[in-house]
Amino acid sequence: MQSDYTRAVLALGSNLGERAETLAEAVSDLVDRPEVRLVDVSPVIQTKAVGGPEGQPDFLNMVMIVQTSLGPYELLAHCQSVEAKHLRTREVRWGPRTLDVDIITYGDLAQDDPVLTLPHPRAAERAFVLFPWLLIDPTAVLEGHPIVELLEDCGDADSIADYDMLLDEGLA
Ligand SMILES: Nc1ncnc2c1ncn2[C@@H]1O[C@H](COP(=O)(O)OP(=O)(O)OP(=O)(O)O)[C@@H](O)[C@H]1O
Ligand SMILES: Nc1nc2c(c(=O)[nH]1)N=C(CO)CN2
């Protein structure tokens, strides 16, 4: 692996339209350029919407890991162009969306810029990010904390539809 490629963790979510198809296409779109190489992709999990308007549809969520030669803002622009392709609109904060792509980490970069905050400021408390991430990277650490511990401590594990089943299978 070339040293000018940086490992980045991306979280994808969809709760409108053909959710599974949208996520599958978004993964292809995100790696459809030589500057972005796919390392791993998590299973897709169904989750209850956390925050936002009452009664919005369940999400499908997943995490992917890439190696990229794009800079962090170039990667953000790329993620936003893939959102736009899937007709993402921003009307209500945390409201329903066809596609959301968040950058969870970009290498070890830590910054507070509201345009691109890294690591993502709410990732550590979101089971819908931590859980699929854990499935593909069980030893991952976020801001000094193993994500397995963050997941145990986070209040919204019950937002994951089949969490108990996955626990029984020893996956969580
Ligand atoms: N790590 C990050 N990943 C993606 N967007 C970010 C990040 N940090 C800051 N942003 C900014 O957040 C803005 C709003 O993003 P978006 O509309 O996807 O928020 P949201 O999905 O509704 O909520 P949340 O940020 O809680 O996931 C984007 O325009 C982007 O500039
Ligand atoms: N279950 C779930 N809830 C959410 C999600 C999401 O992807 N999944 N995204 C949000 C804002 O990014 C707010 N709430």
pLDDT at 168: 54
**What's the confidence (pLDDT) of residue 3?**
67
Please give the full DSSP string across the chain, using - where no structure is assigned: --TT-EEEEEEEEE-SSSHHHHHHHHHHHHTSSTTEEEEEEPPPEEE---SSSTTPPPEEEEEEEEEE-S-HHHHHHHHHHHHHHTT----STT---S-EEEEEEETT--B--TTS-BS-TTGGG-HHHHHHHHHH-TT-EETTEEHHHHHHH-TTGGGBTTHHHHHHTT--
Q: What is the rounded average pLDDT for all residues in the chain?
A: 89
**Fold exhibited by the domain 6-122:** Alpha-Beta Plaits (3.30.70)
pLDDT for res 91 = 61
Q: How do the domains of the chain map onto residue ranges? A: 6-122
Q: Rounded to 5 degrees, what angle do the CA atoms 66, 71, 75 make?
A: 55
CA dist., res. 8 & res. 111, Å (int): 15
Pairing of strands 59-68, 36-41: antiparallel
122 lines ligand 1 (CB under 6 A): yes
pLDDT at 97: 80
Residue nearest ligand 1's atom 29 by CA: 115
Query: What confidence score (pLDDT) does residue 172 get?
Result: 47
Complex-level ipTM? 0.97
Probe target for ligand 2 pocket from 22, 45, 58, 61, with the most ligand atoms within 8 Å of CB: 61
| Structure token digits, residue 88 | 């993402």
> pTM, whole model, 2 decimals?
0.92
Find, among 60, 34, 50, the residue nearest to 122 by Cα: 50
Percent of the chain with pLDDT over 90: 72
pLDDT tops 60 at residue 131: yes
Give me the pLDDT at residue 43, please: 94
Strand partners, 36: 68
Residue 170 has pLDDT above 90, yes or no: no
Mean pLDDT along residues 98-109: 96
Least confident among 51-60, 121-130, 137-146: 51-60
Question: Cα–Cα distance between 42 and 113 in angstroms, integer?
Answer: 28
Tens-place pLDDT, residues 33-76: 999 999 999 999 999 999 888 888 899 999 999 999 999 999 99
Summarize pLDDT for 76-99 with one digit per residue, the tens.
Answer: 999 999 999 998 666 666 667 899
Query: What does DSSP say about strands 141-142 and 100-106: parallel, antiparallel, or unpaired?
Result: unpaired
Ligand 2 in reach of 133 Cβ (< 6 A): no
